[in-house]
């Protein structure tokens, strides 16, 4: 458990390793998209790391990367097919960022640096830690962007054709506040992420100095 927390905190893919920025900026206009994207990455990363750590001895070194990309691509394609069939609104709103998990630096990076070298148990732990960190970072960005930009928190919207209810929270009373709509536009994403990173640097830096 402590090991897991350490991975979440010290190897957070977004704020510390700076991996997978594309998707984190693009899908964070709604909280719902953020946690579902995190979940998708978790599923792909978990299965890829399991498969790679099982077959790592069979793969020759010089064709490692193409083989791993095909494995990751297979799981992404399976996920795409499932989502298209059962949660089509989500499939539409994630659009190209779902297939782009294939080239998401987090997945390939972790598969290459962790599961191609270590055993099954470490790989599973790493997959859980990394994708939890990714999901938390995504939710944090999405929360700030959606509350500031649209004055709402969308928890269940695209999922409503499975759950049969919607949960969209209005944060402030509508008539006395004007949302900053640029926060949900691309530039808001860059600015929020930049400010959050500066904050993390500040906190992390102070800790390092006190140690």
Partner 1 sequence: MNLISIFIAGLFTENILLTKFLGICPFVGTSKKEETAFKMGLAVTIVVTISSIITYLLYTYILVPTDTTYLKTLMFILVIASLVQLLEMIIKKYSKSLYLAFGIYLPLITTNCAVLGITLLNINNNYSFIGMLTYSISSGLGFTFVIYLFSTIREYLDNKPILKSFKGYPIALLTAGIMALIFGRIVL
Residues in contact with partner 1 by CB under 8 A are 18-19, 21-23, 25-26, 65-66, 69-70, 73-74, 76-77, 80-81, 95-96, 99-100, 102-105, 108, 182, 185-191, 193-195, 197-199, 201-202, 205
Q: How far is the CB of 3 from partner 1 (least distance, A)?
A: 27
- Cβ proximity to partner 1: between 100 and 167 the closer is 100
Q: How far is the CB of 56 from partner 1 (least distance, A)?
A: 20
The answer to whether 106 and 41 are in contact (CB under 8 A) is yes
Q: How far is the CB of 202 from partner 1 (least distance, A)?
A: 4
- Cβ proximity to partner 1: between 55 and 199 the closer is 199
Q: How far is the CB of 8 from partner 1 (least distance, A)?
A: 20
- Cβ proximity to partner 1: between 99 and 179 the closer is 99
Q: How far is the CB of 204 from partner 1 (least distance, A)?
A: 9
- Cβ proximity to partner 1: between 77 and 119 the closer is 77
Task: Give the span between the Cα atoms of 48 and 111, in whole angstroms.
Answer: 7
- Cβ proximity to partner 1: between 39 and 65 the closer is 65
Dump the DSSP string for the chain.
Answer: -HHHHHHHHHT-TTTTS---HHHHHHSTTSHHHHHHHHHHHHHHHHHHHHHHHHHTTTS-GGGHHHHHHHHHHHHHHHHHHHHHHH-HHHHHHHGGGTGGGGG-HHHHHHIIIIITTS-HHHHHHHHHHHHHHHHHHHHHHHHHHHHHHHSEEEEESTTHHHHS--EEEE-S-GGG----GGGGSHHHHHHHHHHHHHHHHHHHHHHHHH-
């Amino acid at each position: 458990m402590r090991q897991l927390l350490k991975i979440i905190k010290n190897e957070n893919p977004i704020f510390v390793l700076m991996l997978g920025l594309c998707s984190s900026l693009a899908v964070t206009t709604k909280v719902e998209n953020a946690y579902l994207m995190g979940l998708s990455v978790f599923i792909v990363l978990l299965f890829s790391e399991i498969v790679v750590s099982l077959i790592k001895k069979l793969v020759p070194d010089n064709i490692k990367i193409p083989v791993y990309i095909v494995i990751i691509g297979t799981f992404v394609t399976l996920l795409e097919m499932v989502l298209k069939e059962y949660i089509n609104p989500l499939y539409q709103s994630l659009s190209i960022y779902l297939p782009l998990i294939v080239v998401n630096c987090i997945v390939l990076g972790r598969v290459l640096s962790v599961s191609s070298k270590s055993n099954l148990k470490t790989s599973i732990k790493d997959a859980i830690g990394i994708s939890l960190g990714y999901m938390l970072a995504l939710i944090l960005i999405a929360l700030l962007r959606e509350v500031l930009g649209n004055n709402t928190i969308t928890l269940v919207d695209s999922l409503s054709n499975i759950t049969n209810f919607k949960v969209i929270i209005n944060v402030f009373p509508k008539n006395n506040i004007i949302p900053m709509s640029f926060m949900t536009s691309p530039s808001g994403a860059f600015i929020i992420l930049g400010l959050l990173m500066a904050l993390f640097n500040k906190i992390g830096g102070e800790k390092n100095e006190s140690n």
